[in-house]
Amino acid sequence: MLSNETIVSQIKALLSNHPHINLDILFLYVPEFQILHDLIEDDEIIQGYCIGLLEGSKEKLSPAKWLVVLTNKRFHFVQNSILRSSFEHIPLEFSNITKITTKLGWFFGQIQFISKDQTLKLLQIGRKDYGFFLPCLKKYL
């Protein structure tokens, strides 16, 4: 498992071209960032992240916001509700993904991850987050 400092430095490196995003506020208002060090393995490098609502085809998922983190090995879907004592984590390996589709509307975007087992759809992604995450997805589209 990576240390919390390593997670912070990797996120800081991603945001180097976005000086208007305050890292302290990001970690304060998105509690999923605070548990990433328990989920991401030592040999994984964070390449991008996105926040939105998540729908699953197989199971009922929590209707709160989810953090999707792209690493060099897999996607991590993480939801850490303040109201619950535990978090939800859905790892999605690249080998299981059959198709990824994207769509941008007037105000929000969506990304659909189709795997052999299920379909996960990330909805209501803000335009800025969508624009930040889309270049990371280019090689998987």
pLDDT for res 17: 86
User: Rounded to two decimals, what is the model's pTM?
Assistant: 0.92
pLDDT for res 125: 96
Cβ neighbours, 10 Å, residue 18? 9
pLDDT for res 84: 66
Fold of the CATH domain 4-140? PH-domain like (2.30.29)
Report the distance separating Cα 1 and Cα 63, nearest Å.
28
For the chain, residues with pLDDT lower than 50 are none
- Which 8-state DSSP code applies to residue 49? E
SS (H, E, C) 89-118: EEEEEHHHEEEEEEEECCCEEEEEEEECCC
Q: Which amino acid is at 28?
A: L
Report the distance separating Cα 26 and Cα 40, nearest Å.
18
- Residue whose token pair is 């589209």: 141
Report the distance separating Cα 132 and Cα 130, nearest Å.
5
pLDDT for res 141: 75
Which residues partner with 110 through β-bridges?
A: 103
Question: 37 to each of 8, 12, 23, 32, how far by Cα in Å?
Answer: 9, 15, 16, 10
Q: 49: which 2 tokens?
A: 């992240």
